[in-house]
Amino acid sequence: MKFNPVFSKKNILFSTQKIKTMKILKYMLMAAALLFTLPACNDDDDSTPTVDNPTIQFNNVDDTTSIVSEITFENRGGYKMVDIHTNTPWQLACDADWLTISNHSGNATPATVHIKITAAENTTGSTRTATLTISGSGKTASLNVIQAATAIDQSGWQTAQEASNSMRIGLNLMNSLDAYGTWFEWSDLDAAQTCWGEPLADAEWFKAVKEYGFNCVRVPITWFMHLDEEGNVSQAWMDRVEEVVNYALNAGLYCIINVHHDTNAGEYTWVKADHEGFETVNAKFSLLWKQIAERFKDYGEKLLFEGYNEVLDESGTWELPKSDNGYLGINDLAQSFVNTVRATGGNNLYRNLIVCTYCANGGQTPLDKLVIPTDEYSNHILVEVHNYSPGRFTQILGIEEGQEIPVWTEDDEKSLSPELDIVINYANNNNIPVVIGEFGAIEKIADEDLGKYAEYMVRYCRDRANITLIYWPHVVDRKDYSAPWPLLMQGLLKAND
């Protein structure tokens, strides 16, 4: 028989294809059979490992004794951390698409898992709610989530919350209008503003601050050198204050003015946290704020008033008062400040006002002891604290000769974060924006480390609450308007991210 190569090739190709087709059919049948034997992925899955006495709960971070059933967010969103504590495999479900959770399931170990809950900005115009449900071994626990709506204000002005979210990060005009001394004539206003070594404030500095990306400037002001015996402010000093305020506002910045070293100027201190002696203090204090408020009553919403700086008790005690008389005295000053400003009318009816804790201390007790003033116009009060921690790094009082220049470390972050958590929780739990009106470190520290410190500070706060941060030491040079610490500035401006 003659061999036909073409025919044989076709036969071979046909046979090979047939074998491949049969194998594919075989594998498909095997896969289908296997699929029918697999368990269904649902809540009734009997194959999920279980325990006889399951524990499932939401806790505050690193605190298994405090069960959390509800958390709240401001309308701007952000994130919060909670712990899931279990002894069983678990799954976490969320019934809202505006929330994002970092973990959806886990095993019995580790027993505690940190969960990051992120809320998007609420633009719906109304409060919204959601529920997180954790389940395992037939047991469940729920966490209610509530997010506030954008605050509605009849005045048409920005609320305190909105103003803080716009200000975000700023600088202090330090050692200028707040400076004081006894080696010059107090009527010499140029000497009064330059006696601590800074040049006279000018419009160019404020313009540079704005162009670099900052949103606000705090202008500390000391008044006692410019008051007559009856407590009247000299016309020339008030005019100069207004001139500097206009520098800031014309540059497009928010501006905060206050009563500064009248509160802790040694023998010249007259603003004290003294409940028992409040009537004497208030006669002069309320008169001063009446004059300030009258001068600026027609100014717009970008001008904020801060009632007082770091007020101490009658004994001049730093950090905490000797007795509750100091806390009560702070509350007296705060209420008098609000009442006096509101009584002047005009735009001061709605102006955002700032009150400080005792000594501007951001600790738990000073915050708890602060009574927010009653105010006919709601949502127009902010709370201010200061923070110069950790002292090992910031060395705000200066480094002695021969002392090693500190560098920023993870230990510094661990030291600082619990202090910031107190302020963050206060802001979130009370729905009150907080201003960290002063923070900073000495300028001898390397720019790289200043930058790390600044970025950690602003990101930690801004990511967790509606907090405005205002740096105290130099950032923008007062003479040539340069940025001598570019990494520090870069770190601070992360607040705008």
| CA atoms of 183 and 203, how far apart (whole Å) | 28
Strand 70-73 with 105-106, pairing? unpaired
**Which of 175, 166, 220 has its CA nearest to residue 474?**
175
Of 74, 384, 438, 455, which residue is the catalytic one? 438
**Which of 68, 65, 58 has its CA nearest to residue 425?**
68
Task: Decide if 463 contacts 420 (C-beta within 8 A).
Answer: no
Question: Which residue has 């075989």 as its token pair?
Answer: 26
| CA atoms of 351 and 323, how far apart (whole Å) | 32
DSSP 279-340: HHHHHHHHHHHHHHHHHHTT--TTEEEE--SS--BTT--SSS-SSHHHHHHHHHHHHHHHHH
| CA atoms of 423 and 420, how far apart (whole Å) | 5
> To the nearest 10°, the Cα dihedral for 239, 244, 249, 252?
160
Strand ranges (E), 25-138: 56-60, 63-67, 70-73, 78-86, 90-94, 99-101, 105-106, 112-119, 128-136
Hey, what amino acid is at 306?
E
| CA atoms of 184 and 352, how far apart (whole Å) | 36
Cis peptide bond prior to 110, omega within 30° of 0? yes
Residue 376 annotated among the catalytic residues of the structure: no
Strand ranges (E), 200-300: 216-219, 254-258
Of 310, 314, 384, 455, which residue is the catalytic one? 310
> To the nearest 10°, the Cα dihedral for 486, 488, 489, 495?
150
Residue 413 annotated among the catalytic residues of the structure: no
| CA atoms of 479 and 211, how far apart (whole Å) | 16
Find all residues with CB under 8 Å of 143, minimum gap 6, and list them: 58, 68, 69, 70, 71, 82, 131, 132, 133, 134
Task: Decide if 432 contacts 383 (C-beta within 8 A).
Answer: yes
Instruction: Specify the DSSP element, H or E, that contains 191.
Output: helix 189-194
Give the residue numbers marked as catalytic: 310, 438
